[in-house]
Structure 1
Amino acid sequence: MSRRTTAPRPKTAAPKRRSPLPFARAALMGLVALLLVVAGVWASWADAQHILLSKGREHGTLAVTGCSAEVCTGRFDPEGPAPVRTDMSIERSVAVRSDGEYPVVVKPGSRELVRTGLGGGLHAWLPLGGSLLLAALVIGGGLRLPRPAWAAASLGGLLLVGTFLTV
């Protein structure tokens, strides 16, 4: 009768405790990236809402005659039977130049105009493009997610370049 010998069982290692710091860092970086994108949408929405939700608002063409440090004024020719007005203004920016003619929409309850069309729409979303570029740095560096970081950076860069080319 042979005696079977079995190798002694190895002791199982106690489960390692994971530090909560990597999870806290990831949550914090995710929150910062989300905050950057939300801030970009918030800043963009002030003008973009008038372009995207322009149904029922007064549309027309603005012929810019002069600009001050902050606003440009000119001759507003609304679509339809409404008379031409000269008391309307538009924010001075790279999207508006002196002696230019632009399609615009009136902000409800005010005398302010917002440029419409492709150039005006892209210009309205410009803050979102910048915030996507900043969020891409946080996503890539803080969260260590290179593919989503490249996607966010590409979207932000396309928005900035598209705005530059159309305005």
Structure 2
Amino acid sequence: MPAHAHARASRRRAVAALRFGRLAVMGAVAVLILVAGVRASWGTAQHVMLTKGRERGTMTVAECSEERCSGPYRPVSVGSTARGRVVLDGAVAVEEGRTYTVVVKPGTDEVVRAGAGGLLYAWVPLGGALLLASVVVAGGLGRSRLGWALGGAGLALVTAAFLAL
């Protein structure tokens, strides 16, 4: 085999190895972003989605600071007890004086919004992860259609949460 043919074959193998390495790394980054989004969302979403055996009720927002809102809790589920004060994450769009359906986080005085708005809000971190992963998939992996699909799903989730709250 002539030297230039051997050099060409060696170059092709190197290019193929670099291409595979790039795809493997970008694929791992995209998966890591999506797993982080699911994990960040699941901390709140589990309370909204898996309500069997959890305390469910209503909260009337009495006061709000920049970070949290608080108010009295009235139970609607069997086994739930009334509380004079529970705390709701202030980032959730609530208004003082209004009453919202909530689920109590076990062992705490913290509540999360229930219903469609609470569910969509809980999955907002996944929506952001989908948007970020779409850039990695389209740019780093060269899969533009899949990137557009991921980005569209993320945008739809974030928009639906915004509109529901």
| Common fold by TM > 0.5 | yes
TM-score band w.r.t. shorter chain: 0.7 to 0.9
Letter in 1 for 2:43: A
Tell me the equivalent position of 2:118: 120
Higher-Rg structure is 1
CA-to-aligned-CA distance 1:64-122 (integer Å, 9 cap, x gap): 01012322111211015755321211111133332221110011111110101000000
User: In the alignment, does 2:105 pair up with 1:107?
Assistant: yes
1:122/1:159 contact within 8 Å kept: yes
Pick from 30, 33, 44: which aligns with 1:33? 30
Pick from 138, 141, 155: which aligns with 1:140? 138
State the distance in 2 between where 1:103 and 1:28 align. 43
State the distance in 1 between where 2:18 and 2:77 align. 63
User: In the alignment, does 2:70 pair up with 1:69?
Assistant: no
Tell me the equivalent position of 2:57: 60
1:73/1:86 contact within 8 Å kept: no
Letter in 1 for 2:24: A
Output the aligned Cα RMSD: 1.7
State the distance in 2 between where 1:80 and 1:30 align. 44
Task: Identify if the C-alpha distance between structure 1 residues 39 and 83 changes in structure 2 by more than 3 Å, giving closer, same or farther.
Answer: closer
Letter in 1 for 2:152: S
State the distance in 2 between where 1:83 and 1:94 align. 24
State the distance in 2 between where 1:87 and 1:75 align. 5
TM-score normalised by structure 1 residue count:
0.86
Tell me the equivalent position of 2:87: 89
State the distance in 2 between where 1:119 and 1:110 align. 22
1:95/1:123 contact within 8 Å kept: no
21-30 vs 84-93, which moves further: 84-93
TM-score normalised by structure 2 residue count:
0.87
Q: Which ranges of structure 2 fall in alignment gaps of 5 or more residues?
A: none
Letter in 2 for 1:46: G
Q: Which ranges of structure 1 fall in alignment gaps of 5 or more residues?
A: 1-12
Within a 5 Å distance, the mapping from 1:34-53 to structure 2 comes to 34-53=31-50
State the distance in 2 between where 1:83 and 1:57 align. 11
Pick from 152, 157, 160: which aligns with 1:159? 157
State the distance in 1 between where 2:69 and 2:129 align. 27
Aligned residues: 155
1:26/1:142 contact within 8 Å kept: yes
